[in-house]
């Protein structure tokens, strides 16, 4: 790290509470906290320790360039959010819409390129044969019954970006907390068994971190409490796991990359406002999809490509397009226009991947703390709740003049969290996905079992992470090894990843670009994502072991890169990384197929805190 | 000039430049589709003016920088989160529309009111900064009108550089035709400088500056006066996106030689 | 009825620039369309000579300003100049070429006269006895047609707004105005023009062709290496041979001005696009530039557009260029330069 090698004049500032990341978790924390920071007579309800006489000094640092540049679905039951805002008026939040109807849809394979096990092909055939009597429409089967754990009857549809803007504007107007976007936090400041604050990323450095003449070493923010809400792939959270344990071996970590669009639906689209559609079965059995209809004929839609989908060229973008083109969805989408696009990782291991939640001087909230529930497909409200609970704990401790020690946080935050609905539901959900380790059918069965029996019955986990099959294994019987070798040679020489060529070869039709909704990956970056990277920071994606990359047969990092920011290096060695295309989805971190020689639970990709990324506030 | 300058930077906010913009007619005139949903940034050229101001103030002890901004309060507040860490300034906000379809004269009048309300502002130290054109109205008019209102007749537009000579005079480089600069020397304040890109890089985010700025920004925003801004006397017949899609012929797999010849032919046509 | 004033300045050679002649055409057009008289005001050491050049334009009156203080572009003097011409002519519509000189003062003067101004006026239209203008908003992203109630209305015309006036010379009488100005008010001295500190003048507004270089020129190429020196050589040679004007994408300009020895002759003045220039040339050739929207908006006034890019899916492919050559720009430019050399030698 540059920090150690360079003795630099690093400035410090002291605050009471420093938060890392502005996601729903921190938003919940700051909102709940700010509601009680002042007495009604204008005097501080809790006095600052670092600035006596003033109210608690609370800052929040967010790496993205604006508070609204978040990515999510979102359908949510919003139980915790509504508790914080009892008088929530959806009209105040752009795009917010009440859920009006739900569909759970099994998508058949209309193309024949989907990699389906025999029983699914059989199911498809049967459904087609019985289509007169089944709720069948356009190569899809609408399930007559949606299990209660999946339902969002009383729920809301939100644009997380717009929700964030709305929350942040109230927080700022209160004048009680400061939120600083465009400010990546490099790492926690750890002293012995305590966290003393955070260090911001260095500025004025070249891509490889070398100081330039405008070098400004990242400042140290000293804080009594560091609130870590940096999401699924945040470097601060990962560093804490490394230091304070609780970190789970990688086979317990389950991930997915969610890729989405916001679309102006065509004028003739008849989908009612508030519609929620969830799909499964296509483009691959492992890929789930969602389509939510906001007011004013705008939809949020996308897919999840999970880590247990053992495809060495699992490119979310191409799959997203095939999914949109499925007749059941395309009937609503054809003629629509792309407004926004984005991608982000999801930590799907939930409670199983829960790290150490507290320690001296720090507390973890949100998805990085294992709050996301894969069984109910819900993370926003859960994250918000963890933040709100932590705020309650902080208020209690501060009012009693108690420190933010591990012991005190255990008696307050941890206790509140363990006693909440979040914990009950997370426990039910924790093994819900195990079935997918064994196959698609067992996966669905496992989810239902866990859902209906409240977690009592579930599939066992497979012990070890599967090794990613080689291209030759994966495309066996579909593409000859010589052809793969040829494609590999041609693509790598051009510095291109292989997925497009291989998918086309395997029978996926070319995408008929219409320049409105079906656009090239790069255009999606430009039109929908508006991706940008400020210079002055170091690159945040690093390939630590060039020799591993050189020998790596499936450069999955490049294949699945959400922004085509990583490309194979024609000269071998490290892949190339172009941060101007990176959307900070974090998927390269967990998709890398190689383990570090010294730590088998870590991959060869280092994902650090960086600025820039998406500039869309609608995702 | 040991006592320093009073640098007043006028900067509006505009939609983040990469956003898709579409004009729509609203009850109050023309505007942008989903205007309030679009992320906003400080007007790029005016932002350069702010960086130049901060730089000059730092070099000239005793100087003060004011950022005068007319924009919807909530949006301005959000933009401040990204600007306030860049340079030390005192915000003088005016709550009003940031739309490009408002009239420069009315904007200048509102800015004039705000500037006249700045306590202790010394005309003999006054450098009025701004972007030479906004990225919204693109009128290139507001600063000149404001300068006239303030009776400042040393005005420069498209400024890329302003240096202080030992005798206190200012050497100013303005963009003129053909990629050249016009070099002028002005005796000193008061002057109006409408900045182009300047030569300074965007300053790094400095949390310390941010925290101290915020202490005055939030109260100032809370007290911001509302200005009624429109486009009196302007009648828009239409506002349209250019229809500009071409039928692109994509030439793949052609020999380099063939391509070069075709281009040459085209150039010579 | 309106009263029209056309304000012009003579160039170093005593001539009227193309831009000035376009403004004359606009004045003639308005005078006819609005059945209004028009006055031409000329600033120059010998305004009579310039007036003679456009003697046949039909202006009702010629005013001239020859005093030395008014010969250089400067706000304080130029504003007094237009103020006096306007008062003398009682103009309600004041037209001037939208050059850096007149754009600097028109809005301020308009205010001084109690009127309004519009710069970057693209087109003047007269319908039903009323003047409408077209003007871009949001950095050339949308175009508005508008009218104004306030007078005088000062208009800075973009070049290309009208065809340059072509007509008979003619002997005309020019009334030379003597404009008083208090020397104490002149606090600014203009020292002249400074060209960018490069040996090569790369911006040529009158060139037929705009040549745009993008960041691809500095990126690693198929051999895994970057070749900035080779790129610089190819580009400069092409500019010499073709007489094209050089534009750059923001990415490239940023790289170059970061002090990295990428393309030393690239400055931010070359930047084309939303935050750069919107030059006017009949043709444009983009190389190693992705054709992203913020860049391409700067091409609004480039009529014919071609691009060379390795990526068949780059922005240019999507309706932004007339022709996209999917090829290595290094190779294409090398070949193109060779062809140009041949052409030169055979001449
Ligand atoms: C496509 C998609 C669809 C989804 N759909 C739904 C849905 O329908 N319903 C639902 O409930 N949930 C949904 N989720 C999940 C939900 O979005 C997440 O669970 C939720 O956002 C987690 O909130 P968080 O606050 O914990 O973390 P995040 O939202 O990840 O926020 C963390 C923040 O920290 C910032 N950060 C990270 N590192 C640093 C650093 N070093 N310095 C500073 N800042 C940093 C990040 O930029 C980010 O803004 C979806 C997710 C995806 C990707
Ligand atoms: C506020 C703001 C304002 C902006 N304003 C502007 C502006 O005014 N002007 C502007 O240009 N941009 C502007 N942009 C930036 C814009 O979005 C793009 O980032 C920029 O235009 C990209 O430049 P590029 O196409 O040169 O570089 P890249 O996107 O890096 O593209 C390089 C291209 O070169 C090609 N290439 C590489 N090698 C070769 C080869 N050997 N032969 C052929 N092709 C090759 C590649 O295929 C690629 O398409 C702005 C952005 C922001 C945020
Ligand atoms: S980063 Fe990982 S997946 Fe990518 S090439 Fe290297 S070893 Fe392979
Ligand atoms: S490089 Fe960026 S866009 Fe690509 S996978 Fe990694 S984080 Fe996502």
Test C195 with B180 for CB contact under 8 angstroms.
yes
CB of C307 closer than 8 Å to CB of B251? no
CA distance B211 to chain A (A): 8
Task: Provide the pLDDT for residue A460.
Answer: 76
DSSP H helical ranges for C45-117: 47-53, 75-89, 100-112
CA distance B239 to chain C (A): 4
Band of the pLDDT at A553, cuts 50, 70, 90?
A: confident
Q: How far is the CA of C230 from the centre of ligand 2 (A)?
A: 19
Task: Provide the pLDDT for residue A8.
Answer: 67
Q: How far is the CA of A600 from the centre of ligand 3 (A)?
A: 14
**Dihedral sign (CA B67, B70, B76, B82):** negative
**One-character DSSP codes across A478-545:** TS-HHHHHHHHHHHHHTT--SHHHHHHHTTPPPP---SSSS--HHHIIIIII--B--TTS--SEEES-
**Is the CB of B100 inside 8 Å of chain C's CB atoms?**
yes
CB of C304 closer than 8 Å to CB of C316? no
For residue A519, the chain C residues in CB contact (below 8 A) are 318
**Is the CB of C261 inside 8 Å of chain A's CB atoms?**
no
Test A221 with B205 for CB contact under 8 angstroms.
no
Residue C307 has pLDDT above 70, yes or no: yes
**Is the CB of C220 inside 8 Å of chain A's CB atoms?**
yes
Q: Is A186 helix (H, G, I), strand (E, B) or coil?
A: strand
Averaged pLDDT score across all residues of chain A: 92
Task: Provide the pLDDT for residue C53.
Answer: 95
Ligand closest to Cα of A182 equals 1
Please give the CATH superfamily to which domain A14-88+160-248+351-428 belongs: FAD/NAD(P)-binding domain (3.50.50.60)
The crossing angle, in degrees rounded to 10, of helices B142-149 and B104-116 is: 50
CB of C75 closer than 8 Å to CB of C53? no
Residue A248 has pLDDT above 80, yes or no: no
Encoding tokens for residue A154? Answer: 């009383």
Helix (H) / strand (E) element for A174: namely: helix A160-174
Q: Note the ipTM here.
A: 0.92
- Provide the number of CB pairs (under 8 Å) joining chain A to chain B: 92
SS3 track for chain B = CCCCCEEEEECCEEECCCCCCCEEEECCEEEECCCCCCCEEECHHHHHHHHHHHHHHHHCCCCEEEEEEEECHHHHHHHHHHHCCCCCCEEEEEECCCCCCCCHHHHHHHHHHHHHCCCCCCHHHEEEEEECCCCCCCCCCHHHHHHHHCCCCCEEEEEEEEEECCCCCEEEEEEEHHHEEEEEEECCCCEEEEECCCCCCCCCCCHHHHHHHHHHHHHHHHCCEECCCCCCCEEEEEEECCCCCCCCEEECCCCHHHHHHHHHHHHHC
> Average pLDDT, stretch B253-263?
94
Would you call B4 exposed, middle or buried from its count of C-beta atoms within 10 A (0-12, 13-18, 19+)?
A: middle
| Same fold for the pair C4-185 and C209-346 | yes
Q: How far is the CA of C198 from the centre of ligand 2 (A)?
A: 23
Does the beta carbon of A347 lie inside 6 Å of ligand 1? Answer: no
Comparison of pLDDT for A69 and C1, the residue scoring more: A69
Task: Provide the pLDDT for residue C177.
Answer: 97
CA distance B269 to chain C (A): 10
**Is the CB of B167 inside 8 Å of chain C's CB atoms?**
no
Task: Provide the pLDDT for residue A441.
Answer: 77
Residue C96 has pLDDT above 80, yes or no: yes
CB of A432 closer than 8 Å to CB of A70? no
Comparison of pLDDT for A441 and A248, the residue scoring more: A441
Tell me the pTM: 0.91
Task: Provide the pLDDT for residue C198.
Answer: 54
Residue A249 has pLDDT above 70, yes or no: no
Band of the pLDDT at A252, cuts 50, 70, 90?
A: low
Task: Provide the pLDDT for residue B183.
Answer: 98
Does the beta carbon of A618 lie inside 6 Å of ligand 1? Answer: no
Closest residue in chain B to residue C292, using alpha carbons only: B18
CA distance B146 to chain A (A): 30
Task: Provide the pLDDT for residue A4.
Answer: 44
Report the atom number in ligand 2 closest to the C-alpha of A615.
53
Question: Which among B20, B77, B207 has the least Cβ separation from residue A219?
Answer: B207
Closest residue in chain C to residue B256, using alpha carbons only: C332
Test C76 with B139 for CB contact under 8 angstroms.
no
Test A94 with B37 for CB contact under 8 angstroms.
yes
> Average pLDDT, stretch B256-268?
95
Each residue's pLDDT tens digit, C194-220:
886 655 678 888 889 999 999 999 887
Residue of C258, C311, C318, C327 to mutate when probing chain A, most A C-beta within 10 A: C318
Residue B132 has pLDDT above 90, yes or no: yes
Task: Provide the pLDDT for residue B1.
Answer: 43
Band of the pLDDT at A458, cuts 50, 70, 90?
A: confident
Does the beta carbon of B256 lie inside 6 Å of ligand 2? Answer: no
Q: How far is the CA of A581 from the centre of ligand 4 (A)?
A: 8
Test B18 with A530 for CB contact under 8 angstroms.
yes
**Is the CB of B151 inside 8 Å of chain C's CB atoms?**
no
CA distance A517 to chain B (A): 14
Residue nearest to atom 2 of ligand 3 (CA): A592
Test A526 with C224 for CB contact under 8 angstroms.
no
Residue of A510, A517, A571 to mutate when probing chain C, most C C-beta within 10 A: A571
Work out the percent of chain A whose per-residue pLDDT is above 70: 96
CA distance A494 to chain C (A): 7
**Dihedral sign (CA C118, C120, C126, C132):** negative
Question: Which among A520, A526, A571 has the least Cβ separation from residue C292?
Answer: A526
Test C222 with A570 for CB contact under 8 angstroms.
yes
CATH number of C209-346: 3.40.50.1220
Test C224 with A523 for CB contact under 8 angstroms.
no
Pick from A550, A577, A596, A604 the residue to mutate for probing ligand 3's pocket: most ligand atoms within 8 Å of its CB: A604
Residue of A169, A180, A296 to mutate when probing chain B, most B C-beta within 10 A: A180
> Average pLDDT, stretch B196-212?
90
Q: How far apart are CA C202 and CA B117, in angstroms?
A: 46
Kindly report whether the peptide bond that precedes residue B190 is cis, defined as omega within 30 degrees of 0: yes
Task: Provide the pLDDT for residue A3.
Answer: 41
Comparison of pLDDT for A606 and C199, the residue scoring more: A606
Each residue's pLDDT tens digit, B69-120:
999 999 999 999 999 999 999 999 999 999 999 999 999 999 999 999 999 9
Q: Is C2 helix (H, G, I), strand (E, B) or coil?
A: coil
Provide the residue ranges of all domains of chain B, joining segments of one domain with +: 6-226
Q: How far is the CA of A252 from the centre of ligand 3 (A)?
A: 21
Q: Kindly report which listed range (A265-269, A569-573, C168-172, C232-236) carries the lowest average pLDDT score.
A: A569-573
Task: Provide the pLDDT for residue C258.
Answer: 54
Please give the CATH superfamily to which domain C4-185 belongs: HUPs (3.40.50.620)
Task: Provide the pLDDT for residue B211.
Answer: 92
Test A180 with B207 for CB contact under 8 angstroms.
yes
For residue A495, the chain C residues in CB contact (below 8 A) are 222
Each residue's pLDDT tens digit, B222-242:
999 999 999 999 999 999 987
Test B85 with A162 for CB contact under 8 angstroms.
no
CA distance A289 to chain B (A): 26
Task: Provide the pLDDT for residue C261.
Answer: 54
Test A519 with C318 for CB contact under 8 angstroms.
yes
> Average pLDDT, stretch A433-460?
78
Report the atom number in ligand 2 closest to the C-alpha of A530.
17
Band of the pLDDT at C171, cuts 50, 70, 90?
A: very high
Task: Provide the pLDDT for residue A515.
Answer: 80
Provide the residue ranges of all domains of chain C, joining segments of one domain with +: 4-185, 209-346
Task: Provide the pLDDT for residue A464.
Answer: 52
For residue B155, the chain C residues in CB contact (below 8 A) are 75, 104-105, 108
The alpha carbon of residue A70 and the mean position of all alpha carbons in its chain are separated, in whole angstroms, by 9
Each residue's pLDDT tens digit, A384-439:
999 999 999 999 999 999 999 999 999 999 999 999 999 999 999 888 877 777 77
Each residue's pLDDT tens digit, A153-179:
899 999 999 999 999 999 999 989 999
Question: Which among A66, A180, A618 has the least Cβ separation from residue B37?
Answer: A618
Encoding tokens for residue B146? Answer: 């404001």
**One-character DSSP codes across A404-426:** --HHHHIIIIIHHHHTSHHHHHH
Test B38 with A68 for CB contact under 8 angstroms.
no
Does the beta carbon of C47 lie inside 6 Å of ligand 2? Answer: no
Fold type of domain A97-159+251-350: D-Amino Acid Oxidase; Chain A, domain 2 (3.30.9)
DSSP A610: -
Band of the pLDDT at A5, cuts 50, 70, 90?
A: very low
For residue B189, the chain C residues in CB contact (below 8 A) are none
Task: Provide the pLDDT for residue A532.
Answer: 86
> Average pLDDT, stretch C111-136?
96
Beta partners for A168?
none
CATH number of B6-226: 3.40.50.620
Question: Which among C224, C311, C319 has the least Cβ separation from residue A515?
Answer: C319
């Amino acid at each position: 790290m540059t920090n150690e090698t360079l003795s630099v004049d690093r400035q410090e500032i002291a605050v009471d509470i420093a938060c890392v990341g502005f996601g729903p978790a921190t938003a919940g924390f700051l909102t709940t906290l700010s509601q009680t920071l002042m007495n009604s007579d204008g005097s501080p309800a809790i006095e600052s320790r670092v600035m006596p006489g003033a109210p608690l000094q609370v800052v929040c640092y967010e790496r993205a360039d604006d508070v609204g540049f978040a990515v999510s679905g979102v359908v949510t039951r919003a139980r915790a959010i509504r508790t914080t805002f009892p008088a929530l008026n959806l009209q105040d939040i752009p795009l917010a819409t009440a859920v009006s109807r739900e569909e759970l849809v099994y998508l058949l394979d209309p193309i024949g390129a989907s990699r389906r096990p025999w029983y699914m092909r059989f199911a498809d055939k049967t459904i087609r044969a019985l289509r007169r009597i089944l709720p069948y429409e356009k190569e899809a089967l609408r399930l007559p019954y949606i299990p209660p754990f999946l339902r969002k009857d009383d729920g809301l549809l939100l644009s997380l970006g717009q929700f964030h803007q709305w929350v942040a504007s109230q927080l700022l107007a209160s004048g009680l907390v400061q939120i600083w976007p465009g400010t990546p936090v490099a790492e926690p400041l750890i002293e012995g068994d305590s966290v003393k604050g955070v260090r911001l990323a260095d500025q004025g450095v070249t891509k490889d971190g070398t100081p330039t003449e405008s070098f400004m070493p990242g400042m140290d923010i000293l804080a009594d409490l560091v609130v870590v809400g940096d999401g699924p792939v945040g470097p601060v959270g990962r560093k804490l796991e490394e230091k304070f344990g609780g970190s789970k071996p990688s086979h317990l970590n389950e991930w997915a990359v969610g890729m989405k669009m916001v679309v102006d639906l065509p004028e003739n689209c008849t989908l009612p406002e508030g519609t929620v559609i969830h799909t499964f079965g296509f483009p691959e059995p492992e890929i789930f999809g969602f389509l939510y209809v906001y007011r004013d004929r705008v939809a949020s839609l996308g897919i999840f490509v999970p880590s247990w989908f053992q495809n060495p060229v699992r490119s979310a973008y191409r799959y997203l397009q095939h999914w949109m083109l499925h007749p059941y969805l395309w009937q609503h989408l054809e003629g629509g226009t792309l407004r926004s696009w984005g991608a982000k990782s999801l930590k799907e291991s939930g409670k199983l991947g829960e790290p150490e939640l507290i320690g001296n001087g720090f507390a973890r909230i949100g998805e990085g703390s294992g709050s996301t529930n894969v069984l109910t497909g819900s993370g926003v409200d859960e994250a918000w709740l963890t933040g709100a609970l932590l705020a309650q704990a902080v208020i209690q401790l501060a009012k009693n003049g108690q420190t933010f020690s591990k012991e005190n946080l255990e008696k307050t935050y941890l206790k509140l969290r363990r006693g909440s609905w979040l914990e009950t539901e997370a426990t039910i959900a924790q093994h819900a996905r195990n079935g997918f380790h064994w196959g698609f059918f067992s996966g669905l069965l496992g989810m239902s079992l866990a859902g209906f029996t409240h977690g009592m019955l579930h599939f066992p986990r497979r012990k070890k992470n599967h090794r990613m099959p080689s291209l030759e294994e994966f495309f066996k019987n579909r593409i000859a090894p010589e052809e793969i070798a040829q494609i590999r040679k041609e693509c790598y020489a051009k510095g291109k990843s292989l997925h497009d060529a291989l998918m086309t070869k395997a029978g996926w039709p070319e995408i008929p670009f219409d320049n409105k909704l079906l656009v090239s990956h790069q255009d999606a970056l430009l039109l929908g994502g508006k991706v940008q990277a400020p210079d002055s920071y170091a690159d945040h994606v690093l390939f630590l072991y060039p020799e591993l990359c050189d020998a790596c047969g499936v450069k999955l990092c490049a294949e699945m890169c959400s922004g085509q920011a990583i490309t194979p290096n024609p000269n071998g060695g490290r892949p190339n990384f172009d941060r101007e295309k990176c959307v900070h989805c974090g998927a390269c971190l967990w998709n890398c197929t190689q383990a570090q020689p010294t730590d088998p639970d870590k991959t060869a990709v280092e994902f650090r805190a960086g600025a820039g990324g998406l500039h869309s506030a609608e995702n | 000039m040991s006592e320093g300058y009073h640098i007043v930077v006028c900067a509006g906010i505009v939609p983040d430049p990469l956003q898709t913009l579409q004009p729509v007619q609203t009850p109050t005139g023309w505007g942008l589709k989903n205007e309030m949903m679009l992320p906003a940034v400080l007007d790029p050229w005016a932002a350069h003016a702010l960086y130049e101001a901060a730089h000059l103030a730092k070099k000239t002890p005793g100087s003060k920088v004011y950022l005068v901004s007319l924009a919807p309060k909530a949006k301005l507040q959000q933009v401040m989160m990204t600007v306030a860490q860049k340079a030390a300034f005192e915000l003088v906000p005016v709550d009003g529309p940031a739309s490009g379809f408002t009239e420069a004269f009315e904007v200048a009048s509102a800015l004039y009111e705000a500037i006249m309300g700045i306590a202790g502002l010394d005309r003999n130290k006054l450098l009025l900064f701004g972007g030479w054109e906004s990225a919204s109205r693109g009128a290139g008019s507001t600063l000149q009108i404001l300068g006239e209102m303030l009776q400042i007749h040393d005005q420069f537009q498209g400024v890329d550089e302003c240096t202080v000579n030992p005798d206190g005079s200012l050497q100013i480089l303005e963009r003129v035709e053909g990629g050249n600069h016009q070099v002028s020397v002005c005796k000193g304040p008061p002057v109006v400088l409408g900045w182009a890109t300047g030569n300074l890089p965007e300053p790094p985010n400095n949390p310390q500056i941010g925290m101290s700025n915020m202490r005055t920004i939030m109260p100032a925003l809370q007290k911001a006066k509302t200005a009624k801004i429109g486009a009196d006397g302007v009648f828009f017949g239409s506002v349209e996106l250019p229809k500009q899609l071409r039928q692109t012929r994509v030439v793949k797999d052609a020999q380099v030689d063939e391509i070069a010849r075709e281009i040459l032919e085209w150039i010579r046509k | 009825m309106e009263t029209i004033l056309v304000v012009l300045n003579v160039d170093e050679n005593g001539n009227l620039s193309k831009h000035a002649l376009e403004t004359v055409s606009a004045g003639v057009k308005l005078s006819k369309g609005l059945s209004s008289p028009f006055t031409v005001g000329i600033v120059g050491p010998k305004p009579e000579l310039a007036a003679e050049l456009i003697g046949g334009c039909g202006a009702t009156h010629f005013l001239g300003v020859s005093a030395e203080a008014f010969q250089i572009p400067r706000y304080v003097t130029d504003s007094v100049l237009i103020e006096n011409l306007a008062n003398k002519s009682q103009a309600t519509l004041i037209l001037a070429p939208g050059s850096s000189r007149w754009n600097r003062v028109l809005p301020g003067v308009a205010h001084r006269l109690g009127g309004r101004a519009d710069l970057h006026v693209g087109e003047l239209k007269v319908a039903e006895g009323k003047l409408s203008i077209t003007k871009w908003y949001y950095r050339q992203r949308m175009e508005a047609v508008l009218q104004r109630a306030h007078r005088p209305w000062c208009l800075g015309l973009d070049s290309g707004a009208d065809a340059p006036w072509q007509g008979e010379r003619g002997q005309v009488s020019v009334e030379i105005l003597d404009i008083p100005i208090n020397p104490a008010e002149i606090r600014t001295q203009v020292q002249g023009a400074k060209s960018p500190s490069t040996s090569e003048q790369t911006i040529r507004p009158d060139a037929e062709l705009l040549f745009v270089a993008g960041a691809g020129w500095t990126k690693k190429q198929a051999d895994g290496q970057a070749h900035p020196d080779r790129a610089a050589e190819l580009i400069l040679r092409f500019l010499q041979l073709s007489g094209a004007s050089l534009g750059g994408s923001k990415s490239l300009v940023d790289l170059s001005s970061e002090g990295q020895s990428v393309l030393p002759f690239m400055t931010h003045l070359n930047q084309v696009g939303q935050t750069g220039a919107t030059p006017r040339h009949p043709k444009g050739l983009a190389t190693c530039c992705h054709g992203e929207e913020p860049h391409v908006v700067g091409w609004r006034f480039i009529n014919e557009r071609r691009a060379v890019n390795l990526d068949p899916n780059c922005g240019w492919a999507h309706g932004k260029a007339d022709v996209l050559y999917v090829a290595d720009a290094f190779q294409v430019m090398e070949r193109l330069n060779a062809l140009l050399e041949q052409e030169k030698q055979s001449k």
